[in-house]
Amino acid sequence: MDERGEPGFQAEGGLEQLDAVTAAVALGRRSRSRRLDEKAEAFLEKQGRLVDLQIEGLQAQHHLLVSRLRWGRFSDWMKALLQVLTVIIGGAIVLLVSAMAWQAHEAHGLAIDAFSVPPDLARTGLTGEVAASRFLDKLQALQLATAESDRPPQSYESDWGSDFKVEIPDTGLTFSEFDKLLRERLGSVSHVTGEITSVPGGMSLTARLGDAPPQTFTGPVTAYDALAQKSAEAVYGANQPYRYAEYLDGVGRSDEAFKVISNLAMTGPASERGWAYAKWAQMELNDRGDATAARSYASRGTGYGAGSDLNDHISMVNIDVWSGHEEADLAVSEVLETESQKRLPDTSEFFYQANKLLGRAWLDFVKPDYEASGADWLETARNIPAEHTAYGNISQLAPAMAATAYALGHDLPAASRAIVRAPPSDDAMPWEIAQGAFLALPRYWIAAEMGHWRFALQDAQKMNATLESGKAEKPIYNLMQRVWIWPLEALAFARYGDAADADALIQKTPLDCYLCVRVRGMIAAQQKDWPAADRWFASAVGQAPSLPLAYTEWSRTRLDRRDADGAIALLRVAGAKDPRDADVPELWGEALLLKADPKTAASKFEEADGLAPNWGRNHLKWAEALDRLGRSQSARDQLRTAAALALTAEERSELTAQRY
């Protein structure tokens, strides 16, 4: 045992024995380990090959799985895309059908079905489609003739719009047939059917629009177009009576037009009656020259709608102008100018654009504010195209009105520029003036401003001759002579020194005409019949108390009598009524010169210059006031200005006398 009491080896030989045993064990282990290693290596090799096979399998499975996954994803995307496309296509179809349904609901048009035609006529070339097409041509011509209307299409009780066509039925349910079906079911498409039959000696044509009673027209086989015209007019008149009346009136068939428009006004639907009464009033005035009847119908037409009320007020202005009732004209013109600035849904765009300019230009002319009116008329000429003829040829008539306004406002340079664009006073001009009720006579007033009354008389006589020769065909010319041309002609006679002709002509004018009574006063003053002048001007003031013209003209007669205080009293009233009238301060200045008050007179002439800077007489009188104040240089400046402007012969003599 060792020192710890455990068995142990002997010191001697123990190590050798241990080494031997250890070596034997090691050799045994090595031998077994080799065998084990060989087995393990074989096993591991097999396992390696198995793993390789598994890896190869897994790789193959991976590629297959990835491929399947990719295809599955593509398939899913395709399914989703197909579903989306299905939804989109379905939605598009729904939207398309909805849009077609809405368009069909809003559709207004006229469809001409192929006419029924006997075989013997069809063989000559007059087939059902040809007959319908030629009938359609007639209807379209009627529609085109009334295209420039005051009314928009939606304001008519029955409107076809502009969609006119001949429909030939298709076989099967095509897209066009589906669209047609929708329009038939949901829209307001009117259908015309027709039939042609053979009768002894010719043919008969019957056209029907909806359930309206048809009319049949008979004539020779060679007269189909004439029959189609009559039949188209019958259909148009039954369905579009307002436009048909406009067409008849435009082609000179006034008796037929009166029958259509009066029936529509008295028995038509409410949406048509206001317009019909306005049209009836205009026709009574223009075609019959009956202002009393026209005023009655225009009054009856108010209250049916804003657009038709505006048109009735236009008729009233025309009636008042050609009756000489300027106070009533002013009152309606003020209402009309306010109304015309509003965009009304039941009037056409052109009607609105034209009347918002015309209403202001005319009101400024009536007030009168001649400088503003001249500018308004020139703006009207610039903004209303020449091709629009619904209100006459405004592009030419407006410059004539501008020149008239400028001449009346003592601005001859502006009048001369405007008249270049105005037409000559030819045979067409009076009818344009009649329809617009525009008192355009610029050459007369330019000559009058210059004191050339012989030329003014010639211009008035030329217009009178045209009215005289045309009044049998256009009875409104009678009214135009009585309240417009005859008074101006009489005034020119009086100023030219022909008192007898002036008296004879003015006696033919009515006593309720504002211009006529004023001219009577001026003629009496020319003859120095002061009581008669006072009487006539007092009558004029009574007829139109809101207007300044009679007051200023009356004040001139007071100055002729050297009644400065009487003139100033009248001018004070006139100035309160129209602060834009340059005549008021100018005449007031002349009255103050009579009262030996040149200082205040000079201030009045300066005020007048602000309103009419191109008025030669005002500068002449202003120079006189400045000279009396001892302001010689300023007086000479005013005389030079006056010398460059229009002056009458009498004023030229005064200019020469004042030069120093």
Average pLDDT (159-187) is 46
Q: For residue 519, which of 532, 531, 164, 319 has the smallest C-alpha distance?
A: 532
Could you state, in order of their start, the residue ranges of all structural domains in the chain? 21-104, 108-239, 548-658
Write down the pLDDT at residue 186: 44
Task: Provide the pLDDT for residue 176.
Answer: 43
Q: Which of 51-55, 201-205, 289-293 has the highest mean pLDDT?
A: 289-293
Closest Cα partner for 495 from 332, 293, 650, 654? 650
What length is written for the chain?
Answer: 660
> pLDDT band at 177, cuts 50/70/90?
very low
Angle CA 181–185–187, to nearest 5: 100
Task: Taking residues 584-598, report their average pLDDT.
Answer: 97
pLDDT at 579: 92
pLDDT of residue 314: 93
Best CATH choice for the domain 108-239 from the list 3.30.70, 3.40.50, 1.10.10, 3.40.1130 = 3.40.50
pLDDT at 156 (0 to 100): 53
Residue 279 has pLDDT above 70, yes or no: yes
Over range 586-591, report the average pLDDT: 97
The tens digit of pLDDT for each residue in 365-385 reads: 999 999 999 999 999 988 876
Residue 22's pLDDT band, with cuts at 50, 70 and 90, is low
> If you average pLDDT over residues 438-460, what whole number do you get?
95
pLDDT tens sequence across 218-234:
999 888 999 999 998 88
pLDDT in tens, 504-526: 999 999 999 999 999 999 999 99
What span, in angstroms and rounded, lies between the C-alpha atoms of 320 and 312? 12
Instruction: Say whether 165 sits in a helix, a strand or coil.
Output: strand
Q: Provide the pLDDT for residue 144.
A: 80
Token digits for 539?
A: 């009558």
The pLDDT-based confidence of 486 (bands split at 50, 70, 90) is: very high
Pinpoint the alpha helices (H) of 12-123.
14-106, 119-122
So what's the pLDDT on residue 255? Answer: 92
Query: How do strand 202-209 and strand 108-113 relate by DSSP bridges?
Result: unpaired
Least confident of 5-9, 111-115, 461-465, 637-641: 5-9
Is the pLDDT assigned to residue 150 strictly greater than 80?
A: no
Task: Report the topology of domain 548-658.
Answer: 1.25.40
Q: What is d(CA 508, CA 479) in angstroms, rounded to the nearest whole number? A: 12
Beta strand pairing status for 188-199 and 215-219?
A: unpaired
pLDDT digits (tens, 9 = 90+) for 258-276: 999 999 999 999 989 999 9
Q: Which of 106-120, 244-258, 539-553, 572-586 has the lowest mean pLDDT?
A: 106-120
Round to whole Å and give the CA distance between 236 and 230: 10
